[in-house]
Amino acid sequence: MPASKFWQIRLYDEQAKKTIKRSSKSEHKAEAFKAAKKLYEEVVYGHLNGTSTSSKSRFDICANL
């Protein structure tokens, strides 16, 4: 499998004790950096408001049907 042409974002969520991984969906470094900053802000804002930023796994979705 060839590598993705998009920049990848990795962020460690200290409160959730896990790594968040997302694609920036951009081939350009400047745009990817903006996407990384936006993800960071969403994580911080989510903790301040008590909301979760992590997406449910497919298992969680199927188990709750």
Quick one: pLDDT at residue 23? 95
Quick one: pLDDT at residue 55? 58
Asked if the structure places residue 32 within a domain, the reply is yes
Quick one: pLDDT at residue 45? 87
Asked if the structure places residue 2 within a domain, the reply is no
Asked if the structure places residue 38 within a domain, the reply is yes
Q: Which residues of the chain have pLDDT under 50?
A: none
pTM of the model: 0.69
Q: Containing domain of residue 55, as a range? A: 8-63
Total count of domains within the chain = 1
Asked if the structure places residue 58 within a domain, the reply is yes
Asked if the structure places residue 50 within a domain, the reply is yes
Asked if the structure places residue 21 within a domain, the reply is yes
Task: Give the burial string for 7-41 (b: 16+ CB within 10 Å, else e).
Answer: bebebebeeeeeebeeebebeeeeebeebbeebee
Asked if the structure places residue 27 within a domain, the reply is yes
Quick one: pLDDT at residue 56? 57
Quick one: pLDDT at residue 33? 97
